[in-house]
Structure 1
Amino acid sequence: MFIQALDDTLVTHLVADAVTAPSMHNAQPWYFDYARHSRTFTLSLDLERAMPRADPTTRGMHLGCGAALLNLRVAAAHAGHQTRTTLLPDPHAPALLAAMRLDDSHEHMDESLPGLYPAIHDRHTSRFPFSERQIPENVRAALTAAAAGEGAQLTFLTTPHRETVLDLIMNAEGYNRMDAPREEEQRRWTHGTSSEEPTAGVPDYAFGPVKRGGSAPTRDFAGRRTVPGRAYADFERCPQLASLSTTSDGPADWLRAGQALERVLLLGTLQGLASSFATQAVEWPDLRWILRDPVSGTGHVHMILRLGYGPRGPRTPRRPVDQVLTIKP
Structure 2
Amino acid sequence: MNAAAGPVVVAGGAGAVGRMLVEAFRRDGTAVVVIDPAAGDDPAALRGDVTAPTAAMRDAVRVAPAVVLALPETTALAAAAPLGALLSPAAVLVETLSVKSAWARAVREPGWSAQCVGLNPMFAPALGMAGRPVAVVEHRPGPAVESLVGALGRWGAQVVRLTADEHDRVAAATQAATHAAVLAFGLALGRLDVSPSVAGATAPPPHVLLRALLARITAGAPEVYLDVQAGNPHAAAARAALRASLDELDAVVGAGSVAGFADLLARAGTPLGADADRYRELCAGLFAELTHEETESRHGRA
Same fold (TM over 0.5): no
Q: Which is richer in strand?
A: 1
| Higher Rg | 2
Q: Highest relative contact order (Cα 8 Å, sep 6+), 1 or 2?
A: 1
Q: Which is richer in helix?
A: 2
